[in-house]
Chain A
């Protein structure tokens, strides 16, 4: 707890600076896109948000597996604290995507596979939170939360692969590991920067939320009473 407390301000300010810097760079310095004009700049919010929402679910899945196999209580606290943050991030991804859709595609909602799978991810996050809270915060609830996270993780490959499997309106990935990126380098760097910065900010939120969850769940222990 104490090491995290000491490191926390550094992480926070570093990621805040990175994100603001890349936003500034992206919003004002990079040139206009050939096809889309200025409206593409929402990419600096939309891509990090959707990337984070899927990665948070993967993190929850790994933590749930750790909890079920090795019974580490800390993992399930982590899962419970990530769930609302993941829901908010998915919501940001969905709304920024639909705002981007208006100038680009002419409509703010399309029923194609990737968007629907992300909506399903959002509903899954909400379902996880509601299921866990309907039990009285005991061991049974933790087990069911972990099982549901693991069963629902089948949705993540569907989101990632949906752009390739079905011909959709959403554009395929511009940044892959092996090929030359399809996006111009001038716009690529602020994109990377904003992804890293956003990740850092979300990591700060996760740390704060986990601290709260740990204190809430262990409130009968003596070390909590000394700490608070």
Chain B
């Protein structure tokens, strides 16, 4: 549990690490209605696509150097030498990034959703979906960052972006399901199931990759 406290300390003091992505998200959500001059009905229909895309891109931006600085500093080496499992440290790092960046984004997104669609029930239902999907995005993007740790982190993140496109398809169906009062809980549990598999497997894979980088 100390590990989580330390990661919090590191991330919170590095204000450009978390304030930047949140501000970018807010800017995108504000800029979207400005660029589209339509009536209220059409705005609310295409709002969700902007929401998912903004969440995707902002999480990609946020995890762009999740391991890079620690790797260059030598802090990652010290973690690898410890007898504690490296997967747990990585998992807690991604968890802290999600708490500091992903949760505010989800809250802001659902607030904008309530504001744009004028249905507060929709906003409350979107919030857990956003929370779970931002966590999944962050996990996969940090996997991508770990892949190209030594060669500049953009390539790895871009390579893992196609893996998340099926998730976007599912998220699109979720919105339709909410609108027609279909199987919302089913989708939520599907996302939670995907998240539970990813939470266990991705830190193990990332620790394998990081140990390969440290060799």
Contact = CB atoms under 8 A, between A and B. Distances in A.
A69 B209 CA distance: 15
Interface residues of B, number: 21
Given A124-B162, A130-B159, A131-B156, 15 more contacts: A116-B165, A117-B166, A124-B163, A127-B158, A127-B160, A128-B159, A143-B208, A144-B209, A144-B212, A148-B160, A151-B205, A154-B163, A155-B166, A158-B166, A166-B173
12 contacts: A120-B163, A124-B163, A127-B160, A131-B155, A131-B156, A134-B155, A143-B208, A144-B147, A147-B208, A154-B166, A155-B163, A155-B166
Contacts of A152: 162-163
Query: Nearest 5 A-B pairs (CB), nearest first?
Result: A127-B159, A123-B162, A120-B162, A158-B166, A120-B165
B143 interface: yes
Nearest to A120: B162
A113 interface: yes
Given A116-B169, A123-B162, A130-B159, A151 B143 contact: yes
Contacts of A135: 151
Interface in B195-215: 205, 208-209, 212-213, 215
A127 B169 contact: no
B159 A131 contact: yes
Nearest to B152: A134
Contacts of A116: 165, 169
A130 B155 contact: yes
A140 interface: yes
Residue picked from A116, A127, A135, A152, most chain B C-beta under 10 Å: A127
B133 to A, nearest CB: 16
Nearest to A136: B151
A133 to B, nearest CB: 10
B116 interface: no
Contacts of A131: 147-148, 155-156, 159
A140 B209 CA distance: 9
A128 B208 CA distance: 18
Contacts of B147: 131, 144, 147-148
Interface string B108-136: 00000000000000000000000000000
Nearest to A143: B212
A147 B209 contact: yes
Given A131-B155, A140-B213, A151 B165 contact: no
A127 B205 CA distance: 18
B148 A134 contact: yes
Contacts of B158: 127
Contacts of B155: 130-131, 134
Contact of A113 (B148, B160, B162, B169): B169
A51 to B, nearest CB: 20
A134 B157 CA distance: 14
Contacts of A123: 162
A166 B169 CA distance: 10
Contacts of B205: 147, 151
B176 to A, nearest CB: 11
B17 to A, nearest CB: 25
Residue picked from B143, B151, B165, B169, most chain A C-beta under 10 Å: B169
A148 B166 CA distance: 16
A120 B164 CA distance: 10
Contacts of A151: 143, 160, 163, 205
B8 to A, nearest CB: 28
A166 B156 CA distance: 30
A120 B159 CA distance: 11
A113 B147 CA distance: 28
Contacts of A127: 158-160, 162
A209 to B, nearest CB: 22
Nearest to B165: A120
A57 to B, nearest CB: 13
Interface in A79-138: 113, 116-117, 120, 123-124, 127-128, 130-131, 134-135
